[in-house]
């Protein structure tokens, strides 16, 4: 595995999420770690790409469903929007990228909702 890896506590701190949320998201498959925990007492290890997804999850409203969170996480990973993993996370401000992506998703959903309303 290339690059720096982060423990759950480090990943939560960097992504601006609560440790309990990161742990819950990992257990429910919303935002998984590149290296899963290997038994009781071991820690998951998160990559740069994982941190990006955790950051996006932390920015979503609390009432966002697990299914929606999973879809957003999957879409982020598949979209190619996640920056070069060789970038140093601590010195690169990724929040504008995540905000733009989330806003584009909201705009797309609004347009689709509007189009379906017009068609009916």
CATH of the domain at 108: 1.10.1660.10
pLDDT at position 65 is 83
- Answer for the pair 80, 43: CB distance below 8 angstroms, yes or no: no
Three-state SS for 78?
helix
* Domain coverage including residue 59: 6-119
pLDDT at position 53 is 85
- Which pairs count as long-range contacts for 66-71, CB under 8 Å and 24+ apart, including other chains? 66/28, 66/30, 69/25, 69/30, 69/31, 70/29, 70/30
In this model, does residue 37 exceed pLDDT 80? yes
Number of domains comprising the chain: 1
pLDDT at position 87 is 43
pLDDT per residue as tens digits for the range 66-114: 888 888 777 777 766 565 444 444 334 455 666 666 666 677 777 777 7
- Answer for the pair 15, 51: CB distance below 8 angstroms, yes or no: yes
In this model, does residue 55 exceed pLDDT 80? yes
Three-state SS for 83?
coil
Q: What angle do CA 18, 19, 22 make, to 5 degrees?
A: 90
pLDDT at position 90 is 35
1 lies in some domain: no
pLDDT at position 86 is 45
pLDDT at position 21 is 92
Rounded CA-CA distance 78/25 in Å is 18
């Amino acid at each position: 595995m290339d690059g720096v890896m982060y423990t759950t506590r480090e990943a939560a701190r960097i992504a601006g999420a609560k440790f309990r949320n990161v742990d819950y998201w990992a257990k429910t498959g919303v935002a998984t770690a590149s290296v899963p925990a290997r038994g009781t007492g071991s820690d998951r290890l998160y990559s740069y790409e994982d941190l990006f997804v955790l950051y996006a999850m932390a920015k979503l409203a609390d009432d966002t469903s697990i299914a929606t969170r999973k879809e957003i996480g999957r879409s982020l990973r598949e979209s190619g929007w996640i920056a070069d993993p060789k970038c140093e996370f601590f010195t690169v401000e990724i929040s504008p990228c995540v905000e733009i992506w989330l806003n584009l998703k909201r705009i797309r959903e609004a347009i689709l909702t509007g189009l379906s309303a017009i068609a009916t």
